[in-house]
Amino acid sequence: MSTTQAGGGATVRRLMLGSQLRKLREARGVSREEAGYSIRASESKISRMELGRVGFKERDVADLLTLYGVDAEQERATVLGLVRDANATSWWHEYGDVLPPWFQNYVGLEEAVAEIRSYEVQFVHGLLQTPDYARAVIAAGGHVTEPAEIERRVEVRLRRQELLTGDHAPRLLAVLDEAALRRPWGGPDLMRNQIDRLLELGELPNVRLQVLPLGCAGLSAEGGAFTVLGFAEPELADVVYLEQFTTALYLDKPAEVSEYRHAMDGLAADSLSPELTRELLHSVRQEL
């Protein structure tokens, strides 16, 4: 099994385990505060566990199962088996020195999804960047200046990109604001190579690339860039990822996710078709 599959698999199991614990708790009528007290933890720790955003201790899960009235040996064994799978080490743990925890969460989710729908305003989506483009935008951010750290971050981005051509590649709908293509990151040669990369990846059967032209207001997403992550497992809810300067928000309430899915539908409708997007990419390339 590849590292990508292993990492994504562990994330799915963590999400499924968290979801199962939440359902058991609610069925028993136990509050998060009560659950936290039973394992010497806080209410927020229970919340993070149920969202699959932290690791699990087998003893804690066993104590929660007892609290929730799960006494059948086979059922307990099944749930506790998930704990061991959910705690499997993923490849990105090697990069803990350059990846903040809030972004490690995203990398795990990204590798576990069946579908990624993303709108980008400032930059080309990370899964579609060339190494030189990634290097330029990371350095331009200003908060990373050491060459070694920049290179480590570029490595992470390139490892993430293996997802698009792996055995279990997700569908990617990438809507890119034309303004991002017009920003001369690193100069004309770099941008020409980046556009060539977009043209190449746009040919993959699982990738749909569309550009939102400058003449379009893009009112479907006046709040800026966002990503909607969809899972194949029916018991796992879609997640909206909103990246900020020093942290990120993860939204999974159905009403909130529905709003963003609707916004993405609007953006895709307002954007150029993949065929017209290719024409625009060739045009922008010639202008550089």
Closest CA to 25 of 54, 56, 78, 68: 68
pLDDT of residue 182: 93
pLDDT of residue 173: 98
Residues 192 and 250 in one domain: yes
Residues 112 and 37 in one domain: no
Residues 82 and 108 in one domain: no
Tokens 């499924």 correspond to 16
Q: Are 131 and 185 in contact (CB under 8 A)?
A: no
pLDDT of residue 5: 42
Q: How many domains does the chain have?
A: 2
Q: For residue 13, tell me if it sits in a domain.
A: yes
Residues 121 and 176 in one domain: yes
Q: CATH code at 56? A: 1.10.260.40
Segments in the chain below pLDDT 70:
1-8, 217-222
Residue 52 tokens read as 């699959």
Segments forming the whole domain that contains residue 241: 99-287
Of 58, 86, 114, which residue sits at a domain end?
86
Strand partners, 228: 117, 240
Quote the pTM value.
0.84
Of 86, 112, 134, which residue sits at a domain end?
86
Q: HSE on the CB side for 233, CA within 13 Å?
A: 18
Q: How far apart are CA 157 and CA 178, in angstroms?
A: 22
pLDDT of residue 75: 93
pLDDT of residue 218: 62
Closest CA to 4 of 132, 238, 170, 129: 170
pLDDT of residue 263: 94
* Averaged pLDDT of the chain: 91
Q: For residue 92, tell me if it sits in a domain.
A: no
CA torsion sign, 274 to 280 to 285 to 286?
A: positive
Edge-to-edge strands, sheet with 115-120: 207-212, 171-177, 115-120, 226-230, 239-243, 248-251
Q: For residue 44, tell me if it sits in a domain.
A: yes
* pLDDT tens digit sequence for 109-164: 998 899 999 999 999 999 999 999 999 999 987 778 899 999 999 999 999 999 99
pLDDT of residue 266: 93
Residues 168 and 76 in one domain: no
DSSP code at position 202:
T
pLDDT of residue 1: 29
Of 59, 86, 113, which residue sits at a domain end?
86
Residues 74 and 108 in one domain: no
